């Protein structure tokens, strides 16, 4: 039973998660696009939040 402890959940190394060679150019582009889209949405939320606070004054 002692040998079964720790076999369930195990941490993966960085190389296992992203691969030894890193992301491909296409994967890198997709991640950049996702990041840019998220940044734009976050800016819009912040603008909306600021406008609502100003109207509330």
Query: What confidence tens digit (pLDDT) does each residue in 1-27 have?
Result: 566 766 777 888 877 777 777 778 998
43 pLDDT tier (thresholds 50, 70, 90): very high
CB neighbour list of residue 31: distance below 8 Å, 6 or more residues apart:
23
pTM: 0.50
Residues 24 and 32 sit within 8 Å (Cβ to Cβ): no
7-22 burial, b at 16+ Cβ within 10 Å, e below that, comes to eeeeeeeeeeeeeeee
Q: Where are the domains of the chain?
A: 31-57
57 pLDDT tier (thresholds 50, 70, 90): low
């Amino acid at each position: 039973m002692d040998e079964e402890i720790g076999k369930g959940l195990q941490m993966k190394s960085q190389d296992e998660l992203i691969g030894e060679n890193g992301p491909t150019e296409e994967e890198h582009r997709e991640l950049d696009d996702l990041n840019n889209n998220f940044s734009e949405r976050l800016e819009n939320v912040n603008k909306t939040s600021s406008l609502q606070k100003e109207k509330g004054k």
